[in-house]
Structure 1
C-alpha cells in the first residue's frame, strides 16, 4: 500500500525503519537518509491499536483485535507493555492483573504467562511473544509498502525501562527474525525527530515531557551543532492515561453499587463496556466541564448513568497528578539545571491534553512556552527511524554530523554487607563509560570474593533488579584487608555491561558480560557457575514454546490491520 503522493523513487532505495511500540498504539516510519515516511496499516491508518485477539478462526491484530474486546475479552490482549520484563509476583503487576480481563499466571522464573484459547487450543505466551504478533505485522506492512525485505529496526522504549524490560522487548522482535539495531528512549526519539533539522549553534536545553497511555517519561537534553546529549532522565513506568482511566471506572462502579446494590467489579463484559465509555468521557473532559457516562442495560434491566465533572476527575486523580511532578524535579536535580535554564518544554502524549496537567506544567515553568508539536504522535517513530539511519550509516548531508549521547536510566552496582547496594555507575551517567571501585577481603585467608550485580535506585538490593553473579576465586592467601580487588563496570554503546573482578598485582581475573542473551538466561535458569571465565548454565527444564508451536503447526491467516 503506497500513500497518495508518495515518491516512488524514495521507495526504490534502501531505507531505515523505526518502530514506536506504544502501550495504546504502534507507529512505524521509513527513513532514506533525507526524508521520512510514516508506514500506513492495512486500513491506511498511521496509528495501530496495540491489541491482539485470539479467536476460533485466527489472530486479529490492531483495530480488528480491539473490536473483539467485548465479544472475546478473555482472549483479547492489551496493555501488554506493562508486563514485559516484569516478575509475576511484583506488587504492581498484581495490581495490573486485577484490571485485565485475560488470564495471567505465574511461569518459570516468576515471569508472567498469558493464557489464551486459539482455534480451541490452549496457548501460553510470554509478554514478549505477544509483542511479536505486533512486530510481525508492522514488518509485513513495511515490506508491502517498499517491496523489500525488512530485517533490521530501531525500537523505542520508555526512558525508565530497566535492562530486563529492554532486553525482553528486543527478544519480542527477534522472535520474528528481526534484528534490533538499537533501542532508543521515547523522549530522546521525540527530541531527535523534532530538532534534528534545526540549525542550533548555541546550546539549547530541552525538557521532553511524554505522558502516554502507560508511562511517564521526562528527559533533559542538551542540543548543539546536531549533538544530542542526555543530561538526565526520570519517569514512572506505571503512570499514564490507563491509571487515570481506571480511577473513573472504579468511581462509576462504586456509584452503580451504591444505587443498585449490585457489584459489577467481577463482571468482565460489564467492566469493559464501562471502560470504553469512561475512556470517551476522559477525552471529552479535555474540552468540556461535565459529561454523562451511560451504559444501557449494563446489568439485567439496569442502566448505568453517572454525571461526571472535570472537577470530580481532578479530585479523584489528585495523587496521580502529584506524581506527574516528581520525575521533573528528579531529572532537573540530576541534570543540575533550574527552570530558568530550560529553553523549551516539549509536551507529548494524550495525557498532556488534560487541562489540570497543563496547568501544573505552566505553574512549574512560569513564563516558559509549552511546545506541543502538531505531529507529536509521530515524533517517536521519526526519531527511531533517524537513529536507525545513524546506525546503518545512511545519512544525507544535512544529518552528517548528527550524534546522540545516551545515559543510564538506573544506577549499577554490587551487593555488599547486609544486602546494601554499592553503586559503581550512577544513574544518568553518559555511556560508553568505564568505572571501577577497589574492594578488599573481610576475613583472613579469604580465597573467594562473590560479586552479585544489580541495577536500580534503591539502597536495598531486594528492591533492585538482579542481573547476575560470579566469584573471583583463588585469591592469594593473606590477612583480611590486604588483597586489593578491583571491580570494573564497562558499558558499551549498545548498553551491554561487562563486569570484571581482578586481584590487583596478579593475573587473577574473572568477568561476565550482561547483554540480552545473558538477561534471558537469568530469567529462565535457576543455577549457573563460572568456569574458565565462561558462564555455564544448567539445561533449561521448561520453555513455553507456544509461539513456536503456533508458527510451525498453525497455518493461521493473520487478519490484521497493523
Structure 2
C-alpha cells in the first residue's frame, strides 16, 4: 500500500510518497525534489514549475506566483489586498470571488492550485509506478476555514483523495518521529519554518503522544524572497558601479537579477562562493559577479537579526527560556542557510537541532508518514483518534490607561490558553464612578490596536468595598468560548487545535 504527502508553499511545492513503511521525497521530471509553485498561461497550454518560473521574464502578466497567499481569501482581507497590489498578474473580483484575468479569461486561484496539485500527483505517481491518489495535505496554523476548504477542494479537483489536512508544524514533528517512537514523557519542541514569503515559529509541548501548541507566530515581513531581493539589490549596485547604469527602475532587468540571485542564494548554502552571470542584462551588456558567503551574510545581516529576534520574542511570550526547549526542528527552504542555523544554535547551545532531513522536505515527509498511518485505518476520519482541545489562537488584550492617560494593553488570555477559560481582573477607579466599561482586543502582532481588533466589551458595576476611601474596586470574571475547529492528527500522536470565536 502507498500514499502521498503534499506540501504546497507560497513559492514551492513538494511531494513525498509513503511505501513499504518509508517516506521519501520524489523528484519531478526536471530532476528537482522541489517544484516552483508557479503557473504560466500561454495561448495553447498551462506550464507548471521551473519552466514557468524561467519564462516569467517574457510572460510576467500571464504568470501566477504565490497563489497560496490569495487562496480562499476575499476582497477586503488585508493579506489579499497586499497580494493584489504586488501581483504582476491582474486580479479582479467577480461574483464576490477573486480571480485572475489572463488573456480576457477569468481563472480562479483554486484552478491555479489545482494545476500545481496535478503536477505533484503526476510526480508522485511516476515515482510509484501506479495510480495512487490517497493524500495528506499540509496547512499553516494561520489558515482560516475558507482557506483550508479551498486548498482541499483544489487537491480533490486534481484527482486526489484527501484523507486529511494536518498543520505544518505537526507534520514536521512526525517527520522526525517526535512523540511516536517514545510516546511517554514530556518535552517542548520549537518548530522553526522559514519559507519563501514568511517566518513561522511554533512551540509545541509533546506529552504522551499528544501535541499541544503553546504558542505560534507568523511574520509575513521575513522570508526567503527577502534574502533574494537583498542580494539582487547588491548585484544592481555592482552593475551600476562597473557599467554606470542604474537598473533598479527597470522591472525586466531586476527580474533577471532576481532569478540569478535566487540561484546564487541556494548555491551559497553549500558553497563558499557563487557566480552570478546574466546574459544581456541591460542595453546589451552582460553581467558577471562573484559573491562570497561572507558577503551574502553581511548583505542580509538585518534579516538574520529579525529571524532570531522572532525566536526570543516567542519564548518570552510563552514564558520560556532557551533551556526549556528540548529540540528544535528546522523546516522551510531558507532554513538551509548555514548562518541562520548557526545563529539558532547560539540561542540553543545545549539543544538538539534537527536538520538531518533537508528543511524543505521535512513537512511533505511528515505528511506522507501521516498518510501511511491513515492507510492502516479502515475508515479514517477527521474525528477518529484525535483529541480536540480548543485554545485561544491569539493574545486577548485588556485595554486600560497608564499614568499619562495613554492607552495601555494588558494580556488577559495569552495565545494557546485552553478554552473555555476564566480570569479575574481587579482595577481601581475614582470613588464617584459607579460602573466601568472594559474592552477586549485580539492581538495582531506588531499591528497597532484599533476598533477592528476589538474582541468584546464588558460593563461592570462597583463593589461595596472601598480602597483607601477614594478608589472603588471593580471585580469581574471574563469568560472566553470557542468554535471547535475539527482539524485532527491521526495515528499515535494527536494535535491540539487552535481556534477562537468572538463573544
* TM-score bin, normalised by smaller chain: 0.7 to 0.9
Is 1:205 matched up with 2:193? no
Compute the RMSD of aligned alpha carbons: 4.7
Q: Match for residue 491 of structure 2? A: none
Give 1:113 deviation, angstroms.
4.9
Give 1:360 deviation, angstroms.
1.4
User: Could you say which structure has the greater relative contact order, defined with CA pairs below 8 angstroms and 6 or more residues apart?
Assistant: 1
Q: Match for residue 114 of structure 2? A: 132
Is 1:490 matched up with 2:482? yes
CA contact 1:212–1:350 (8 Å) conserved in 2: yes
Q: Superposition pairs for residues 20-35 of structure 1, below 5 Å?
A: 20-30=7-17, 35=22
Q: Secondary structure at the match of 1:217?
A: strand
Structure 1 435/412 Cα, relative in aligned 2: closer, same or farther at 3 Å?
same
Give 1:58 deviation, angstroms.
1.4
Q: Superposition pairs for residues 144-543 of structure 1, below 5 Å?
A: 146-147=130-131, 150=134, 153-159=135-141, 161-163=142-144, 167-175=146-154, 177=156, 183-196=165-178, 197-387=180-370, 394=377, 408-411=392-395, 426-430=414-418, 433-435=419-421, 456-457=444-445, 461-462=449-450, 488-494=480-486, 499=501
Gaps of 5+ in 1: 1-9, 440-448, 472-478, 502-562
CA distance in 1, matches of 2:337, 2:424: 50
Q: Match for residue 42 of structure 2? A: 55
Give 1:91 deviation, angstroms.
8.2
Per-residue CA deviations over 1:20-42 (Å, capped at 9, x if unaligned) read: 11223212345589554656655
Q: Secondary structure at the match of 2:266?
A: helix
CA contact 1:104–1:112 (8 Å) conserved in 2: no
Give 1:195 deviation, angstroms.
1.8
Is 1:103 matched up with 2:103? no
Per-residue CA deviations over 1:520-555 (Å, capped at 9, x if unaligned) read: xxxxxxxxxxxxxxxxxxxxxxxxxxxxxxxxxxxx
Structure 1 111/222 Cα, relative in aligned 2: closer, same or farther at 3 Å?
same
Give 1:460 deviation, angstroms.
5.1
Per-residue CA deviations over 1:55-92 (Å, capped at 9, x if unaligned) read: 11011122332343233222122233344466778888
Give 1:243 deviation, angstroms.
0.6
CA distance in 2, matches of 1:466, 1:109: 30
CA contact 1:346–1:371 (8 Å) conserved in 2: yes
Q: Superposition pairs for residues 9-88 of structure 1, below 5 Å?
A: 10-11=1-2, 17-30=4-17, 35-36=22-23, 38=25, 41=28, 46-84=33-71
CA contact 2:92–2:101 (8 Å) conserved in 1: no
CA distance in 1, matches of 2:246, 2:91: 25
CA distance in 2, matches of 1:375, 1:312: 24
Per-residue CA deviations over 1:401-459 (Å, capped at 9, x if unaligned) read: 887868554246899999999988542234xx3347899xxxxxxxxx9x999673478
Q: Secondary structure at the match of 2:295?
A: helix
CA distance in 2, matches of 1:274, 1:76: 18
Q: Match for residue 510 of structure 1? A: none
CA contact 1:421–1:459 (8 Å) conserved in 2: no
CA contact 1:129–1:172 (8 Å) conserved in 2: no
CA distance in 1, matches of 2:446, 2:219: 15
Q: Secondary structure at the match of 2:481?
A: strand
Per-residue CA deviations over 1:269-316 (Å, capped at 9, x if unaligned) read: 322222221112222333444444221221222222344333332232
CA distance in 1, matches of 2:10, 2:353: 24
CA contact 1:345–1:369 (8 Å) conserved in 2: yes
CA distance in 2, matches of 1:90, 1:254: 36
Give the TM-score of the pair, scaled to structure 1: 0.66
CA distance in 2, matches of 1:485, 1:181: 42
CA contact 1:295–1:304 (8 Å) conserved in 2: yes
CA distance in 2, matches of 1:358, 1:244: 15
